[in-house]
Structure 1
Amino acid sequence: METALGTVKSFDPATSARTFRIALSELGEIGWFPNFVSEISRTAPQVQIHSVALETERTEQWLQSGYVDVAISSQVLSNNFERTAIKEQTFSIVMSHRHALAKDEFTVSKYAEASRVLLAGDSSLEALLEAEKRAGIFSTPRIIIQRYATLMPLLEQHPTLLAVIPTSMAHGWAKKFPIVVHQLPFDMEAFRLFVYMRTQTHDVSGLKWFYDAVTKSTLVYPTLFEAIGSNEHRARQEGQS
């Protein structure tokens, strides 16, 4: 009955002041959230958008309960949720152009012996560790951080370090910062990212509108991953001038 009523109830983005909530990782918020605001503001200037930090162990519960309306995640959730695949994400090595291995061809042994930074807060962590084990790499990372925003200034200040990050982000950074990008010397399965919509309730038309706007923003607009760390880099350069 709720679904039937929700289908009949119209949603007018031009006049709505509804609040929508979207669960995003740190990368998702920096790479896509400005695009969401641009796309939604174009037709719905009063709609409010709240970002919620993605917690993978709670994503399904949040969508079921309606705590969030939409989530972007690499998780494969139950068939109860409508979803759209938006991206296949591969991973690459990044390091300062001053790193001793910057111009070398990477091998498994060189990777295993290098001082590495691990992004503990990234959803790809488990997949990276499994890929390392399959390649016979059991050495532990030297540095563990929680946020990508920390990584660029860390690599810049400590050029002996390297890290594994999404390839799209790596090449975005390489256009702006003095870093080099290398392929991984072992196989790591690409991540598929999905936009998920919560189970339908009383306002299907508004929910579907928001889901479609988010999906369009991820597919049509360029991502902004290279913005991560740019302020810190700029401040450091200004301080050195």
Structure 2
Amino acid sequence: MSQSAVSLMVQRWREAVGQPLFVRARYGVVPTDAAIVLRAKLEPLLEGISLALANVQGFDPRTSKRTFRVHMTDIGQMVFLPTLNGFLTGHAPGVRLEVRNLAWEALEAGLGTGEVDIAIGSLPMIRGRVHSRVLRREPYVTTMRRGHPLTRANLDLETYSAAAHLVVDATSSGHALVESALHSKGIRRRIGLSIPHFLAAERILLNSDYLLTVPEVAVMSFRDASAFQLLPTPVHLPTFDIRLHWHERSREDEGGRWLRASIADLLGKSDADDV
């Protein structure tokens, strides 16, 4: 669009709203608070219009050019994304996948506004008009490199708490859950290193005597999972539910239904129903 056309459009919006939507800044213009509020109100309506127009023609994965926006944690990206991307390449070659990792506090709103179409992970904070389906239930395990001195020992609670631990202090790691379970028994483990994500965890474990307590699926995402020994964690921890989430607004979206069914078939290990 030409500059004059944009200026005319902004002027018409200002007249319709009754107040400025943009103000001059050092580099161009920035939206006002009124514009930001208006955008939040209009986005669900525009998303609904887009879905309605798309559903008139139906959804054919073989010819669709649609972009799906998916929330995944770093674990999800390591474990599920290669399989999902390979499936789409073979069955829906024109479909584009856009992966995002929203903050936990923003995720429910992101599903509601269409910022993301679906979310995959252990996301117990999501409430409201969001449906979910259990894809799989994973146990927590304690892992160490093969050849670690403790591979020949009985990993009881005393040995576990005295050992040096690597922790992944991320929302997707379950670190807070493990710490809470230990503290309830009056136990504090010795943390040797804390990192914010899983990217470096494998190499660190291979070159140290740390223990790592995480969902088993996280260890299976390592490049060489056979280089590690998995042991039961000597404290009771609940299973780690990995769910597929979507907002009520997309319940009738044919493309969304196809993607959810494909993900459930491709990645799921559970017969749980939608909730």
* Superposed pair shares fold, TM > 0.5: yes
Compared with structure 1, are the counterparts of its residues 152 and 202 closer, same or farther at alpha carbon in structure 2 (3 Å cutoff)? closer
Pick from 21, 35, 38 the counterpart of residue 83 of structure 2.
Answer: 35
CA displacement 1:3-35 (0-9 Å, x = unmatched):
994654512222211111100011111111111
Which moves more between the two structures, 120-129 or 19-28? 120-129
Instruction: Report the equivalent of 1:205.
Output: 254
> How does the TM-score come out when normalised to structure 2?
0.71
Runs of 4+ in 1 over 3 A off after TM superposition: 1-9, 168-177
What are the ranges of 5 or more consecutive residues in structure 1 without an aligned counterpart?
221-241
Calculate percent identity across the aligned residue pairs: 19
Structure of greater relative contact order (alpha carbons < 8 Å, 6+ residues apart): 1
CA displacement 1:94-138 (0-9 Å, x = unmatched):
112232211111111111111001101242122111111123212
Indicate yes or no: 2:100 matched with 1:56.
no
2:120–2:244 CA contact under 8 A, matched in 1: yes
Indicate yes or no: 2:145 matched with 1:96.
yes
1:171–1:181 CA contact under 8 A, matched in 2: no
Instruction: Report the equivalent of 2:135.
Output: 86
Instruction: Report the equivalent of 1:185.
Output: 234
> How does the TM-score come out when normalised to structure 1?
0.81
Pick from 92, 96, 112 the counterpart of residue 44 of structure 1.
Answer: 92
Alignment of 1:108-127 (within 5 A): 108-123=157-172, 124-127=174-177
SS of corresponding position for 1:161:
coil
Alignment of 1:146-225 (within 5 A): 146-158=196-208, 160-170=209-219, 176-200=225-249, 204-219=253-268
Compared with structure 1, are the counterparts of its residues 19 and 189 closer, same or farther at alpha carbon in structure 2 (3 Å cutoff)? same
1:91–1:165 CA contact under 8 A, matched in 2: yes
What are the ranges of 5 or more consecutive residues in structure 2 without an aligned counterpart?
1-44, 270-275
Amino acid at match of 2:241: R
CA distance in 2, matches of 1:99, 1:8: 60
Instruction: Report the equivalent of 1:141.
Output: 191
1:26–1:148 CA contact under 8 A, matched in 2: yes
SS of corresponding position for 2:62:
coil
CA distance in 1, matches of 2:105, 2:190: 25
CA displacement 1:161-196 (0-9 Å, x = unmatched):
111122244467597443221111110111211101
Amino acid at match of 1:65: T
CA distance in 2, matches of 1:202, 1:138: 45
Q: How many residues align?
A: 219
Compute the displacement of 1:200 (Å): 2.1
CA displacement 1:186-212 (0-9 Å, x = unmatched):
101112111011342598112222222
Compute the displacement of 1:213 (Å): 2.0
Amino acid at match of 1:38: G
2:215–2:240 CA contact under 8 A, matched in 1: no
CA distance in 1, matches of 2:166, 2:83: 29
CA distance in 2, matches of 1:152, 1:94: 10
Q: Considering only aligned residues, what root-mean-square deviation do their CA atoms show, in Å?
A: 2.6
Pick from 70, 73, 81 the counterpart of residue 25 of structure 1.
Answer: 73
Compared with structure 1, are the counterparts of its residues 112 and 39 closer, same or farther at alpha carbon in structure 2 (3 Å cutoff)? same
1:135–1:186 CA contact under 8 A, matched in 2: no
Pick from 71, 76, 89 the counterpart of residue 119 of structure 2.
Answer: 71
CA distance in 2, matches of 1:44, 1:181: 37
1:24–1:51 CA contact under 8 A, matched in 2: yes
